[in-house]
Every structure is written in C-alpha cells, then in structure tokens.
Structure 1
C-alpha cells in the first residue's frame, strides 16, 4: 500500500453482534479494511453489544459497557442505535456495511491534518499491563481511551438469526479504559489484563477523545512484548 498523502488517521468503531443477521457483512468489511490499510494509520475496533443477547443467542464477546458506549454516541450526534453501526473518528456514522461511504470518508480522514499526535507503549507485568503515553502538538482537551483488542476469532453460531453459520471476527474489543490526560500530556497507567490475553494475538489501540463532542483527536496502536521470564 502507498503511504497516505496527508498526515491524518482513521478510527473505525463498529457496533456489532453475533445475534444480528445484518452484522456479518459489516464484520467482513472491517476485516478487509484492516488488511487493505497496511501500515496506514487506520485503527479498527469491533464492539460486540449485549442488547441482542436476549433474542436467542448470547454473543460471547458482548459487554454491556460497549452498549453504553454506543448509547453515549447516540446522545452526542447519532440519530439512532442499531447494528451494524460504524462511527468514524467519533464524528460521522454509517451503516457498518456501507462500503462506498465508509471508504470515501476513510480516505478523506487520512488526508486530514490532525492538530495533535499520540504514541503508546505497553509492558506486561504479571497480570497487569503498564501503559505509557505521549501526546505532542497542539494542547487539546480530551480523555485518553485505551482498548485491548483481540485480532481474530471464529465462532460457530448455534441459535438466533445466524444459527448454523461460522462467523469470523476481527479487532474484537475485549475491554477499554478511560483516563484523564496529565497536564504534561504524558504519563503512565496500569490496567488488569483480561482473561485469555496473548501478546501474540492482541494489541492496544489508544485515542484521545473530546468528551463533550465525541470527536477523536489523535490515535495510536502498539503491540505488547512478551514478558521476561523473570516476571
């Protein structure tokens, strides 16, 4: 892939569910976008919501916190809550399978000029993860959000709208944490690792988000090195 001509970035947040028959095409599209992005600053996050669970199939990746996040966006600018819904950079929403609109807006975002940047590092210490961050450029008002992401999974669906299907998932958010940025715009935070964490199969995606508007101002990702034998 050629490098993008601008210095912009794109955070794509998909709200999805294994219980929704309209969601697999959106999941597949996000996986293609992830692969097509190469080394471009494209950050894909799939949040599995829990409000489909009462309709015949419990999504093992679902979390009520992810549903709350979708409703939070609804309170900011979205007209409704549904799946599959995609939010790009915290300010534009799409049907998650609308490939043409998503790719066009993604290209425009990559050609943008962000006013600040973010870098992340993660280090495993026992059952915890130490996260260090640095934001440079113009000072901004925002919160630091860090998501722990499982890169790939496969599920066999035995009930509900997708009964009998084998679904592949990419960039599954397993947990996310919100922190206040330090006045120096750099610092460190510690989170407890989720069950099943694997340094080879997971990554960290972080972004700075304006809590009043929802707009995402900077983003970064990093892998987590394997802990040393002494830990």
Structure 2
C-alpha cells in the first residue's frame, strides 16, 4: 500500500501551493498525496476577510487525518508547521516534516524582524491586513517566483495572533526540520533551535526561500525530504 502524505499549507496560501510542484513530484515517487485548503483559503487571490482561529485550522487537519486508514506522513509549511505541532498534542502521524515552519517558540521574533526590516509593513499590521503586507514585500516569502504572490489570499488575524503562543508539549515521532538559507521570515538559527527541541533531523537548503516548495530549485527540497523518508 502506498504511503500517504498530507500537506498543510501556510498563511495566505492554499492547496494550490502544493499542486504546482510538490504533489506531481511525490506522486511520481509512489506516494499518495492529499492537499487541502484550510477554512477560508479555498479561493486563490481572495481578499475576503476571515476570522478563523488557529484551533479551527488544527481541527481541519484532524478531520483530514481521521478519514485515513493508516497514519500519514504530514508536511506542514510555515503556519502549517505550527498547525502540525499543535495537532501532535493529541493527534498522531507516522512522520512529520516542518517545512520553513514557525518555531515552537512562536512568531514574536519573526514578526519583529520583519517590521524592523520593512517599516512599510506597520500600516498593514495596524489594518490587520496580512495579505497586503506580503504582497507589498513578496521577498519575505519568495525568491525568483514572486509571481505566485497573486495567488495568495487574505489571512485571519485571529489565527496570526495564535501563532504567538509557544508549543510546550513533547513530540516523540520522527521529525525533519527543513529551512532555506535565504528565508525572509525564519532564520537558520531558529530552524536549528526547532530541530534541537524536537531531537529532529535538519536540512538547510542553500539559497532556499520561505516558500521552498515554489522555488525554482524546489527539487532540492523535495529530494532532501525523500532521502530522509527513505
């Protein structure tokens, strides 16, 4: 029976971000792939404001996993990585990959860095318009593939606030932490700290952006994940 990978997207994204490159890649490797839209993320480019909590997103992941016959491998990107960490408090999976993930300590440091580096983000933050900020400064997420910014949708500010709450529970399943050396939001040091906290494997993709699955060199990231899974 094929192993199943469940993909959890991050802030302002949707299942589309996996469908571009990662799902075709992993399907060719023999995996069954499931990507789903978190509540309110069903439409590319939507500017409709949403008010879901991070807990709502965690519950959405539980609902996907509960329908499966066997524990899956779960890959969580950015906010999706924090959703995955919170899911593992009561849920389970075979293996977990934290891809450019929010660290267990939360987004406080990442948010401060972004605001100091790009002061133009402050008005968007005050307006609770996270999408506007990311579209003005796509380099926070993308390298050469900034065209994907038009696909991004509005994000719940309530969910964003939930990312400030640290994760304290232990996680015992095998974990791989993957980060890009040119990530505009999370630092290599934070990836290293996440791997240390969870006694996890660590892969730093040289030149990789925050959206590693949409980089031109996405295969470098996918290959690193495959090698670890094998």
TM-score bracket relative to the smaller structure: under 0.3
Determine which structure has more spread, i.e. the larger CA radius of gyration: 1
Task: Report the structure, 1 or 2, having the larger strand content.
Answer: 1
Structure with bigger helix share is 2
TM-score by length of structure 1 reads 0.26
TM-score normalized with structure 2 length: 0.26
